[in-house]
A and B are shown apart, each in its own frame.
Chain A
Amino acid sequence: MEDFNRILFWVFSTLMLGSGALAITRAHLVNAAMFFIQVILCMAGLFLLLDAQFLALIQVLVYAGSVVVLFLFVIMLLDQREESKRVTTGGMLAGGITFASLTALLGTIVLQHAKTNPDAALPAGGSVGLRDVVRTLFTHYLLPFEMTALVLLAAMVGIVVLSRKR
């Protein structure tokens, strides 16, 4: 079971990083959005491997179901000119340098941390039901939950104001 999880982890993470790299380099925006959906779905798979079934569900519903659809609406609504699609050599260079240095930095931090704190024994995970997470959400985190609802309302009003014709 542990081996199977490990294989699934490598499959999901390779697919996710590969399609992430393709999503930021594709010239055509619809292709980029499709690769972005693949990143989202692989991330949901990783959440499942981490015993976070609720988050995997929310990830697919909210990201793949609404965020990417919103992106696709806007991509198809706006008439993209050719020059804004192009990936320049200078841009490639800047992106490559940023990627290499950030990966080196974060990798060093993580490996250093792993060296000083060797893997602790895995706490008893078992299956985390929807019930446990949602009970936490509606008891200890009730106020932040209501605040999130308020933020969503404010965002909705803001969007109506922004997209009004004047």
Chain B
Amino acid sequence: MLTDYLIVSGVLFALGVAGVAMRRNILVMLMSVEMCLNAANLTVVALQRYMPPHPESVSPYGAQVMTLFVIALAAAEVAVGLALIVALFRVKRSTSVEQLSELKA
């Protein structure tokens, strides 16, 4: 059962990376990164559920607490990212990454 969970989260992670590679729209790229973070969360929680706890671990629920931190930081990341996208849109009037090529020689 653990293997099934790990494979599902691996496929979800691959979908997220493929979304970043496929799309030129910065909003969809941010959404795909969120999908990758979710896949990592699923891996952590599945491992916590199906593996015996480490003998020196202070609490068997540390993994769930860490996942909570990941979710909180992902929310902060999305908020900052979207503020950056809005600021970028004011300058470029577009959300396509093809418009952001000033650094290219």
Contacts and interface: CB of A to CB of B under 8 A. Distances in A.
Contacts of B95: 78, 80, 84
- Which interface class (under 10, 10 to 19, 20 to 34, 35 or more) fits A? 35 or more
Given A75-B27, A99-B14, 19 more contacts: A9-B5, A24-B15, A32-B28, A33-B31, A36-B35, A43-B42, A58-B71, A63-B34, A70-B78, A74-B27, A80-B95, A84-B24, A91-B21, A110-B3, A119-B3, A136-B58, A136-B61, A140-B65, A155-B76
A67 B38 CA distance: 13
Nearest to A77: B86
Given A32-B31, A70-B82, A87 B23 contact: yes
A54 B64 contact: yes
B18 A98 contact: yes
Interface of B: 1-8, 10-19, 21-25, 27-28, 30-32, 34-35, 38, 41-42, 45-46, 48-53, 58-59, 61-62, 64-65, 67-69, 71-80, 82-87, 89, 93-96, 98
B45 A50 contact: yes
Interface of A: 6, 9, 13, 16-17, 20-21, 23-25, 29, 32-33, 36, 39-40, 43, 46-47, 50-52, 54-55, 58-59, 62-63, 66-67, 70-71, 74-75, 77-81, 83-85, 87-88, 91-92, 94-96, 98-99, 102-103, 106-107, 109-111, 113-114, 119-120, 122-123, 125, 128, 132-133, 136-137, 139-141, 144-145, 148, 151-152, 155-156, 158-159, 162-163
